[in-house]
Chain A
Amino acid sequence: MKRLFAVIATMMLVSTAFAIDEGIRFDDPEMQARYEKLISEVRCLQCQNQSIKDSNVSLAADLRREIARMIDEGQTDAEIAEFLVVRYGEFALYSPRKTGKTLILWMVPFLLVLFGGYALMRVIKHRMSLPIGDDTEQEG
């Protein structure tokens, strides 16, 4: 029984080791790192909840190839992001750029925290003004 589990566990480990495509490799480890980071931040538009790093549909492969080409040509990450946004819109990027329409996306969480903090402060202040030793909730 123990051995069976060991075998199954090993098989599970092996399956995670498959890469989508082994094709694109850079000699320069820094470029390779940029490539890996970029493709994990680009949405696969045919299969919207995957990045193009995780997807094996044809368009994702095309986009990986284009991104590799642009890195090779010495383009910056910002230029590559611009290339994608011009063609597919902000939606193609998992972390939309902090400008224009997407700014509100970035601001909402902070606004919510501020709002929540303010509400919490109000509640605490209110509770502190209640007489001490009165454990039963007094509805206002």
Chain B
Amino acid sequence: MNRFVWPLIAVMALLVFLIMGLRHGDPRALPSPFIGKPAPQFELPTLKNPEVTIGTNTMAGDYALVNVWATWCVMCRAEHPFLLELAARKAIPIYGINWRDSRLEAIRWLDDLGDPYLASAYDEDGRVGIDWGVYGAPETFLVDPEGIVVYKHLGPLDAVIWQREFVSRMSGGGQAQ
């Protein structure tokens, strides 16, 4: 009888680990190495006007969302109404990074669906996307007034995730509701 105790404990421990692994949620959602670090610097032309550039410095001074989107990204369409809602109630400044997209189609998308962004950077070849560690749009970064990345969400944003993960991480400074 005794000889089975240790193997049994070992198997149980292994099972607990495996079950914990399965319950971990979306296996695609990796911890972002940028949390707690300064947002990667960039400088890109805006989507709507190639003459004007936008960059990390543009968003300093307040909490801001950086939302990586593209017209080919189905889930971006799904989260779009919620971004519009956030913009409408001025919850937080939202900046877009239009990632590996066609400029014309992206502008048409914003004209058709509405534009929640103060401005969108146009990252045609995906270089800035790589610097931000983007691997699947939509991705939404929360950047604090000092330019530190506080949180990153992979996948479409909605009211529940906004309340739970974003609002709770904005201390005072943001005008969040």
Contacts and interface: CB of A to CB of B under 8 A. Distances in A.
Contacts of B2: 140
Contacts of B105: none
A86 B32 CA distance: 9
B126 A88 contact: no
B106 to A, nearest CB: 15
A63 B33 contact: no
Interface in B1-25: 2-3
B31 A66 contact: no
Contacts of A63: 130
Interface string B125-136: 111011111111
Interface residues of B, number: 20
B125 A46 contact: no
Contacts, number: 43
A31 interface: no
A58 B27 CA distance: 20
Interface string B101-114: 00000000000000
A82 to B, nearest CB: 11
Contacts of B28: 45, 48
A50 to B, nearest CB: 13
Given A45-B135, A46-B136, A140-B3, A91 B130 contact: no
Sorting the interface of chain A by its residue count into under 10, 10 to 19, 20 to 34 or 35 or more gives 10 to 19
A89 B33 contact: yes
Nearest to A59: B135
Contacts of B131: 87
Nearest to B31: A89
Nearest to B133: A87
A5 B62 CA distance: 68
Given A45-B30, A85-B33, A87-B33, A66 B130 contact: yes
Interface string A49-66: 000000000110011001
Contacts of A66: 127, 130
Interface of A: 45-46, 48, 58-59, 62-63, 66, 85-89, 91, 140
5 contacts: A63-B130, A66-B127, A66-B130, A87-B130, A88-B30
